[in-house]
Amino acid sequence: MSPQSSSQQTRSSDRVADDDTRRANALAHLLLNGALVVLFGALFVQAGALPSSMWEPLGSGSFPRLVLAVLMVINLGIMAQEWRRYRGAPRASAGLVKRWMWRHRLALGVLALFALYIVGVPMLGFRLASLLFLTLVQLTLGVRRPRSLAIAAIIAVTFSFGIDWLFRDVFIISLPRGPFG
């Protein structure tokens, strides 16, 4: 389908091929799918309380219940598959979580900055929050040399103040202004 799918598959195969992480991967599946089964179960019960209609045989809750029931079955199926993998995989070496965190430090760092940015947009306004976010992420991703720093500053200003101007004055869509308006 989408162009992303094949890249996802390529990356995924690399990950799965890693023997050391196979058990951890299966465990992560068990935890995620287990949590989803519980969540879907609770929602299934909640959907039963939604009002029915005198005009139609199916009420508001019927379709979600149908979907949630199938989702629970599929998640249990995935858990059964992953349980077999978990049992059959060699025990992961010590410090795997630490190594994983270290290997993903950039992605996790960018994600943390993105979360702060999302929270910051209504508080600081789009322009200021974007300026800070663009600068910090570029620094996080390794911009160090003076020339790169100058380019990073231009990009930060262009895509914070520039986008704000474009949307406010050209498209007449006001982005969050914050206290510094």
Q: Interface residues for other proteins in 9-68 (CB under 8 A)?
A: 9, 11-13, 15-16, 25, 28-29, 32, 40, 43, 46-47, 50-51, 53, 55-64, 67-68
Counting every residue written for the chain, the total comes to 181
DSSP 138: H
- Does 143 participate in binding other proteins (rule CB under 8 A)? yes
Residue indicated by tokens 């190594």:
99
CB of residue 178 to other proteins, shortest distance in Å: 11
Binds other proteins by CB under 8 A, chosen from 37, 89, 92, 137: 137
Residue indicated by tokens 């995935």:
78
Q: Contact, 132 vs 161, CB < 8 A?
A: no
Mask: binding to other proteins, 106-125, rule CB under 8 A, as x and -?
xx--xx--xx-xx--xx---
Instruction: Give the count of alpha carbons within 13 A of 170, CB side only.
Output: 6
Q: Which two tokens stand for residue 10?
A: 């390529």
- Does 8 participate in binding other proteins (rule CB under 8 A)? yes
Q: What is the largest CA-CA distance in the chain?
A: 71
- Does 165 participate in binding other proteins (rule CB under 8 A)? no
The burial class, CB within 10 Å (0-12 / 13-18 / 19+), for 68 is buried
CB of residue 114 to other proteins, shortest distance in Å: 6
- Does 153 participate in binding other proteins (rule CB under 8 A)? no
CB of residue 84 to other proteins, shortest distance in Å: 13
CB of residue 47 to other proteins, shortest distance in Å: 7
